[in-house]
Amino acid sequence: MPKLSHYDRAGRIRMVDVSAKSDTLRQAVAEVRVKMSPRTRRAVARAPKGDPLEIARIAGIAAAKRTAELIPLCHPLLLSHVDVEAKFRKHGVEIRATVRTTGPTGVEMEALTAAAVAALTVYDMTKAIDKGIEITGLRLVEKSGGKSGTYRRRR
């Protein structure tokens, strides 16, 4: 059974030591859904003061770059690529974040943070017309690189 990596043998919380790990190309993809009523979705699509999905994309990219400041035991990483896609779907908005780096540790937390902050930005920009918007399904879709290899979520 795998052990939790952020605890030492005595059970104390620690930052994982990645100094002995080799640099590899690492990528992670995360997704989240922002569920809203059809009325709210139509209002968001017609936003007169700018595209809220574009603002959410930029917020997600900025958040990925600041993950180590938000999650206490994350390593600060030099990210080589961050992309956040936000698309209207029947249920509301679907957000997908892809993050890449070459280094000794993965970028799963950066991808999850990017997706979450992008979703929160959509909520922030639409809460004036619908406080019942729901953010749901935040999850890692895939990751590659490193000792543990490739992971792909089954649909």
Catalytic machinery residues: 124
151-152-155 Cα angle (round to 5): 155
Measured between alpha carbons, how far is 20 from 60 in angstroms, rounded to an integer?
Answer: 31
Measured between alpha carbons, how far is 109 from 77 in angstroms, rounded to an integer?
Answer: 11
- Of 34, 5, 2, which Cα lies nearest the Cα of 17? 5
Q: Which residues contact 145 (CB under 8 A, 6 or more apart)?
A: 24, 25, 26, 27, 106
**Cα dihedral: 68, 69, 71, 72 (round 10):** 100
Contact criterion met (CB below 8 Å) for 154 and 66: no
Write out the two tokens for 64: 């990925």
